[in-house]
Amino acid sequence: MKKNLTLLTTLAAALIISSCAHNKATEQKVENEIKEVPSSQTKSITGTIKEQIAASSLSAEQKEKLMALEEKAHAEHTALTDELERTKVVMIQTVLEPKMSQKEFNILKNKITALDKKRLANGFRNAAEVRKIIAPTATTQDKMIYKAVIENRLRGF
């Protein structure tokens, strides 16, 4: 009996280790597929408010801070959007294929959810930073720039 229990425990451990290795291989496979999607297949919308900032009545210091923040936010947004769109392409191309397992589907689903959540969190962080630079109680023109910057980041442009 003790011998059978030891054998059963050993087999269970081997199965768990094998399963973990398979999950890592599946994750790597999905990551490789995402990386192979060319950027031309991921059409992202980009918008800029740099001209509005430059033409505004904000102080030179405010303009400089907003420009730096916009460039950083745009770069982060572009990188996240590119990865998100490539992941969506893989999901669309493979979701009905017999080769796609439920594990692959779950990995893609979780990755899309996480990237979208991160992109939105970056938009909120950007909104808070803009709020520190331009007070919402500022002039009407400044409020328009504030609104444009926030909308630009939160709506995904």
Tokens describing residue 140:
């009407």
Rounded-to-integer distance, Cα 31 and Cα 38, Å = 14
pLDDT at 126 over 90: no
Which whole-number Å values give the CA distances from 77 to 74, 83, 119, 121, 152, in the listed order?
5, 10, 6, 11, 10
Domain count, the chain: 1
Domain range for 32 is 2-154
Residue type present at position 106: N
Q: What percent of the chain is predicted at pLDDT more than 70?
A: 73
**Band of pLDDT at residue 6, cut at 50, 70 and 90:** low
- Across the chain, mean pLDDT equals 78
pLDDT at 135: 73
Q: Greater confidence, 77 or 135?
A: 77
Does 11 score more than 90 pLDDT? no
